[in-house]
Chain A
């Protein structure tokens, strides 16, 4: 089954990404980028005895993870929610990970 990649101007108005965002497949580590997508996974990731929230976000082209340290939840960030994040990611295995990025809740 071929994976169709939607072009921006074909997209449904509700699904318009944040204005400065780029497709996740184009994001490179160690550069400030903004990506937008849907929350597909949320895990409490306690490490070193402190809480942390790991959120996986996907657009049509890929998935990234955002980790917020010292928190178990963030208001408005729930499964299925569309959000945009902006930060400088590191490469973790085969995907990118952002630590405490700026985030914007997007309209449903």
Chain B
């Protein structure tokens, strides 16, 4: 997959270096040339000097609906702009924005942008958001029988009840994050697009959970 990382600070460079070693191809955009020094001499991806919410810059960076975009500059506002342009102008589905101020996160979550507040935040979380196929669990119990995983609800699962998901995966939806706020759901709670679920499941039920959250089968 083509991944565009905007912002080559500590996190941006970590994400880029991580991705460049794998099968994804990465391009890093930053306003300042010096920022790319963080990538070192052996960086396998590409770099580009420019403003990340400039349509021409993004086009030149190869943005398409199937790529992923990480808005991880040092400015919340820039990250929001980048995220919205990527999503709304270019139709990119996998977009994550780093927001330093958690109070702003709820406002932007409403726009359907996955935000990662800097408090709980590592490059690993950004990667997890970007690459929806990666399923690094939040937690695995010592006996390795259970695991807590994080999933973002897609449009096709909207309207499904928590009870259904729990029955299908033999697990429990512990927490639902919606519009920047977290709550403990009831069985009757209906899932909505962009909800972030933290689900306790038996260690081998990942596929069942994913199937429950993808009711039409296959990816969209």
| Residue B103 is within 8 A (CB to CB) of chain A in the complex | no
27 A-B residue pairs with CB within 8 Å:
A50-B88, A51-B88, A69-B88, A69-B111, A70-B87, A70-B111, A73-B155, A74-B155, A74-B193, A75-B153, A75-B154, A75-B155, A75-B156, A75-B158, A75-B159, A75-B193, A76-B159, A76-B193, A77-B158, A100-B111, A101-B110, A103-B192, A104-B190, A105-B158, A105-B159, A105-B190, A105-B192
A23-B23 Cα distance, complex, nearest whole Å: 54
Q: Say yes or no: is B219 at the interface (Cβ < 8 Å to chain A).
A: no
Is chain A's binding surface mostly helix, strand, loop or mixed? loop
**Would A107 and B110 count as touching, CB distance under 8 A?**
no
Please count the residue pairs between chain A and chain B whose beta carbons lie under 8 angstroms apart in the complex.
47
Q: Is A102 located at the chain interface by the 8 A CB criterion? A: yes
A41 in contact (CB, < 8 A): no
Could you mark each residue 58-83 of chain A with 1 if its beta carbon is under 8 Å from any beta carbon of chain B, else 0?
A: 00000000000111011111000000
Question: In the complex, are the beta carbons of B190 and A76 less than 8 A apart?
Answer: yes
Residues of A within 8 A of B (CB): 50-51, 69-71, 73-77, 100-107
List 11 other contacts, CB 8 Å, given A75-B154, A102-B110, A105-B159. A50-B88, A50-B89, A70-B87, A70-B111, A70-B112, A75-B159, A75-B192, A76-B159, A76-B193, A104-B190, A107-B190
Closest to B181 in A: A102
Q: Which residues of B contact A107 (CB under 8 A)?
A: 188, 190
Please give the distance in Å from A38's CB to the nearest CB on chain B.
15
List the A residue with the shortest CB-CB distance to B112: A71
| Mask of B147-169 contacts with A, CB within 8 angstroms, 1/0 | 00000011111110000000000
Number of residues in B with C-beta < 8 Å to the partner?
19
Query: Cβ of B155: which chain A residues have Cβ within 8 Å of it?
Result: 73-76
The contact of B110 among A75, A100, A106, by CB within 8 Å, is A100
Identify the closest chain B residue to A86 (Cβ). Answer: B179
Instruction: Write out the residue numbers on chain B whose beta carbons fall within 8 Å of the beta carbon of A69.
Output: 88, 111
The 10 closest A-B pairs by CB, nearest first: A75-B158, A76-B158, A75-B155, A70-B88, A75-B193, A76-B159, A105-B190, A100-B110, A102-B179, A105-B159
Distance to closest chain B CB from A10 (angstroms): 22
Which residues of chain A are within 8 angstroms of B112 by Cβ–Cβ distance?
Answer: 70-71
Interface flags for B121-148 (1: CB within 8 Å of A; 0: not) read: 0000000000000000000000000000
Min CB–CB distance B194 → chain A (angstroms): 8
A71, B155: Cα distance in complex, Å = 12
Query: In the complex, which residues of chain A have a beta carbon less than 8 angstroms from the beta carbon of B153?
Result: 75
How many whole Å from B84's CB to the nearest CB in chain A? 6
CB of B110 within 8 A of CB of A74, answer: no
Q: Which residues of B contact A103 (CB under 8 A)?
A: 192
Complex: how many Å from CA A4 to CA B177?
39
Q: Which residues of B contact A75 (CB under 8 A)?
A: 153-159, 192-193
CA–CA, A104 to B110, complex, Å?
12
Minimum CB distance partner of B108 in chain A: A100
